[in-house]
Each structure stands twice: as C-alpha cells, then as structure tokens.
Amino acid sequence: MPLVATDLPTHTQTITPDIAFLAKPEPAALAAAIVRAAGPEGRRIAGQALDFCRKNYTPERYRQLVANALAKAGPPRPDVPVPTDRGAAPPRS
C-alpha cells in the first residue's frame, strides 16, 4: 500500500518522493496525492518503499545505529546494564 504524507520537514526528513506521495498540507493537494497513489504509480512507489524498508530497517541496521549512538555518547557506565540480543540485560558485576 503506498504512503501519502504531507510535504513538511517533519516527514521529509525520512520520507522522499521515491517512496511516498508527498503533498502540500491542503485538502486538494492531499486528495490529488491519494488519487495518484490509488493508480498505477502507487504500486511502483509502494514497491520502492518496501525495498527501502527491507534494506534500511533491519534488526542488524538498528543495532548498528544504536551502537553508533552509544559510541558517540561515551564509555559505558558500570551502573548501567548492557543490552543483549536476548532481551533484558544481565546485571554487571
């Protein structure tokens, strides 16, 4: 199913016209985008969005992004548990 969103910075930080139908936040523009999404172009855009999500939103990619953020945050603190792949983090000794 294709995505229709408003063409506002809150959306366009992560959503592009390659993977969604972006419209001005006005009723007529949104209606036109919905009509386009329901047509033949909608299937193509939805397919591109699915490919994008499969590539960029995998568990491995998520762990990589979290690891990068933690590395930027500084060294680990001994009083904060380290997450594991199996759920809850064991307490540090």
Examine residue 66 and state whether it is found in any structural domain, yes or no.
no
pLDDT (0 to 100) of residue 91: 58
Using the predicted structure, report yes or no on whether residue 92 has a pLDDT greater than 70: no
Q: Structural domain tally of the chain? A: 1
Q: Between β-strands 21-23 and 4-6, what pairing exists: parallel, antiparallel or unpaired?
A: parallel
* Domain range for 22: 4-56
DSSP 19: T
Reported as a single tens digit per residue, the pLDDT across 64-74 is 988 899 888 88
CB 3 within 8 A of CB 43: no
pTM for this model (two decimals): 0.66
Examine residue 9 and state whether it is found in any structural domain, yes or no.
yes
Reported as a single tens digit per residue, the pLDDT across 20-59 is 999 999 999 999 999 999 999 999 999 999 999 999 889 9
pLDDT greater at residue 76 or residue 42 = 42
